[in-house]
Amino acid sequence: MDTWTTLTPAQRDAVLALADAAQAADAVAPLNEEARLLLRGGDALHWLATDADAVVGYATWQPAHATGQLVVDPGHRRRGYGAALWAALAAATEETSVWAFGDLPAARAFAAALGLSPARGLHIMERALTASEAPTPPEGVTLRAFTDADAGAFLAVNAAAFASHPEQGHFSAADLAARQAEAWWDPAGLILAEDAGGVVGFHWTKRHDETTGEVYVLGVHPRAAGRKLGALLLDAGLARLAAGGNTRVILYVDAGNAPAVALYERSGFTIVHTDTLYRP
C-alpha cells in the first residue's frame, strides 16, 4: 500500500466523502479537526485503500502527535481493509497508536483482534447554555479580545499551560494561522486574561452553528495557579456563546486531567462519550 505525503484534490475530496459516510452511519466523526486540516497539506502521512479505484478506506499518521486515525467505508467493512491500513501504519511508524472516536463496539472489537489496548481517554462533555452575565474579573485582571499583535503572547501562554499535553503543547504559529483561515474563526471569540505581567490565560471559543458552541481551548499560565482564572475565563466564554444565541456547548478534555474535569463538572458539564487511543 502506497504512502502519500501529499494528497491530490480528488483524493482529499474522496477521503472527506468517506469520512462523511462513516459519520452518517456511526453518529460520530472518524477524523478529528487536525486530521481534516492536514488533508490540505502539512506534516502527515496518508494511506488509501481502494476498490475498483474508489477510496473505501483511509489512514493517517501525525508525527507531531505520534498518533494515527483510521476509517473504512461502512459498506466495505469486515473485508480486511482496516487490517491492511493498520499494517501500513505499523510498518511506517514506531510505537503505533490509533484513535477510536466514540470508542464504538466495532472499534473495540477491531482493536482486540489486533492485540491493541486502551492507552488514553478523551472525554467529550456538554451542557445546556442559557443567557448569563459576563463575570467581573478581580482587581488587576482584565478580559479582552485577541488581536494579531497578541499571537506571540498567546502561543507562549498556551505552551506553558499545556507543556505536558501531547497535542496542544505543540500548538504552533502555523497551527494558529490554519485556524484563522477557517470560516468559524472570530478574534472576539478568543478571550484573553491579562494582568500586570501580560497575558496570563485565555478561553478560545468556537461556534459550530446557531445552536452549538465549544470550549475550544482554555488555558492558564502556571504563574497564575490558584487565582481561579480558569473558572473566570470559562464563565466569560460561556456568557459570550450564550449571548450569540448558542443553547448548547461542548468540549474535549483528557480523561486523566482530574482538575479540568472537575472544573467543567462544577459548571454543569457531563460526559457524553469518551474517545480512546489504542496501542499495542
The letter for the amino acid at 116 is L
Does the structure show a pLDDT above 90 at 245? yes
Give residue 159's pLDDT: 97
CATH number at residue 201: 3.40.630.30
**Is 1 a domain residue?**
no
Handedness of CA 77, 78, 79, 83 (dihedral sign): positive
- pTM higher than 0.85: yes
Which of 63, 93, 115 terminates a domain? The answer is 115
Q: Report yes or no: 100 and 279 within 8 Å, Cβ to Cβ.
A: no
Q: pLDDT of 150-183, one tens digit each?
A: 999 999 999 999 999 888 988 999 999 999 999 9
Whole domain around residue 184: which residue ranges? 126-275
**Is 280 a domain residue?**
no
Does the structure show a pLDDT above 90 at 1? no
Give residue 95's pLDDT: 86
Q: What is the dihedral of CA 178, 181, 183, 184, to 10 degrees?
A: 60
Task: Work out the average pLDDT over 104-120.
Answer: 95
**Is 2 a domain residue?**
no
**Counted domains in the chain:** 2
Task: Work out the average pLDDT over 269-277.
Answer: 96
Which of 61, 91, 115 terminates a domain? The answer is 115
If you average pLDDT over every residue of the chain, what do you get?
Answer: 96
**Is 107 a domain residue?**
yes
Is the same domain home to 83 and 185?
Answer: no
Q: pLDDT of 75-105, one tens digit each?
A: 999 999 999 999 999 999 988 999 999 999 9
